[in-house]
Chain A
């Protein structure tokens, strides 16, 4: 009995160790995959047309959904903050509070989550389908560097598009906040703008844009990696897509916390208040 329990505990800890080591190995593989893609992107031929194609896919085709979610996020957030601030007579601070929250946190995070789900999922599914239907092998045997042709343009496109989409999200969310506060809740328009202008600094917006660039990099690398190394048939494509999207979303939320702290530390070291 005691031996059985001891063996069970051994197996449990050995399993946890193996699982942890596999995760470390996977992070290493993703790092190498990213490095190879970026290294290949500096070799000729440069894939400019591919880059533009994926920027159109990740950027242009996400504008509508980003606008929609940005608008309603602005409306909902400002209304909740209005209800809270009304309790202690601080409704004039709704505008700047929403502006800071949107530009520094919600804008980049929600844009990251939405684009990771939409474009990241599509990337993983597309590459996964290409893998299982031997299209990637076909490119390989044609003497085409598949990391350069398929992976690098997608990563660059995500890096370039994410700050732009975040800027749209921020702007539309603030339009929603303005509409709700000034036109529906009848707050004073001049005070609304003045408070925002006093408190919101361009570096707050830049902070969010920087975060969104990192989120773009992270979801693009994870999703392309999952798709590129898909195994099996349709089931494998489904699993790769699912893993790509879920891991990207979790990483965006975790990274947001760490990036916020890194930026705080940078401000402290640089003497920025």
Chain B
């Protein structure tokens, strides 16, 4: 089920993680998961299985009720706010709706994390790096000075990804990046994730998705969640060969839709 990894090889290590918001129902209920460094891991599962709650724990936006959660070798479940701020500089996140700041242009959105965390850099240098990130995600320079509401959903995702890459993160999280997008845009975003991952050696990518076909296409590893637990972690091939009934049903349904 899970692949034996040395502690140093783990980008994310979750041990018996539990989370309840009301003291009764556990949204995450004894989760165990180890995500290898440098891999592209897709976390899948039905709606309400705790995918989004899990990623918010990894980002330090939620504190677990119990259990351990290490990201890049550091326990973040009980980290102080100051340490968490420093830690998050090593993260990149692409949100479901891109979460661009709507009072800033495309270029300003990408410059923003650099201006906040590289205060010693000149504005010229920051702008150059931001433009380089925007080129990396394939966004044309004619859109750089547009506001987020003046560009398409796909361009917003590209901008969000460029912003997530701005600080050269060691680990990048994608929270349901293709939800609500049409099939063509979905494929474009999937390719973008794959190309970004392949172009940056050593970077770990964690994608939360319900799109099984994309998971098989882009993922080095897939983790399937159910009832707040990881019921299978493995390569796409292992998913096809598994005897776990729920996974087989999910795989069959997902592949039929594809």
Interfacial residues, chain A to chain B (CB-CB below 8 A): 45, 129, 133-135, 137-138, 140-145
B59 at the binding interface (Cβ < 8 Å): yes
Question: If the complex has contacts A133-B99, A135-B99, are A143 and B117 also in contact, measured as CB distance less than 8 A?
Answer: yes
Interfacial residues, chain B to chain A (CB-CB below 8 A): 59-61, 81, 84-89, 91, 93, 95-97, 99-102, 112-113, 116-117, 119
* 8 nearest A-B pairs in the assembled complex, by CB-CB distance: A143-B88, A134-B99, A138-B99, A143-B85, A134-B95, A141-B93, A143-B89, A142-B113
User: Are the CB atoms of B61 and A142 closer together than 8 Å?
Assistant: no
- The CA-CA distance from A141 to B81 in the complex, in Å, is 12
Question: If the complex has contacts A45-B119, A135-B99, are A141 and B85 also in contact, measured as CB distance less than 8 A?
Answer: no
Q: Which residues in A have their C-beta under 8 angstroms from that of B86?
A: 143
User: Are the CB atoms of B85 and A135 closer together than 8 Å?
Assistant: no
Q: Which residues in B have their C-beta under 8 angstroms from that of A142?
A: 88-89, 112-113, 116-117
Question: If the complex has contacts A142-B116, A144-B116, are A137 and B99 also in contact, measured as CB distance less than 8 A?
Answer: yes
What is the CB-to-nearest-CB distance from A268 to chain B, in angstroms, rounded to a whole number? 45
User: Are the CB atoms of B93 and A138 closer together than 8 Å?
Assistant: yes
User: Are the CB atoms of B97 and A134 closer together than 8 Å?
Assistant: yes
- The CA-CA distance from A241 to B64 in the complex, in Å, is 31
A sample of 16 cross-chain residue pairs with beta-carbon separation below 8 angstroms, ordered by A number, consists of: A133-B102, A134-B97, A134-B99, A135-B99, A137-B61, A137-B95, A138-B93, A140-B61, A140-B88, A141-B59, A141-B91, A143-B84, A143-B86, A144-B85, A145-B81, A145-B85
User: Are the CB atoms of A135 and B102 closer together than 8 Å?
Assistant: yes
Closest to A134 in B: B99
Q: Which residues in B have their C-beta under 8 angstroms from that of A145?
A: 81, 85
Closest to B89 in A: A143
What is the CB-to-nearest-CB distance from A52 to chain B, in angstroms, rounded to a whole number? 15
Most chain A CB neighbours (cut-off 10 Å) among B59, B89, B113? B113
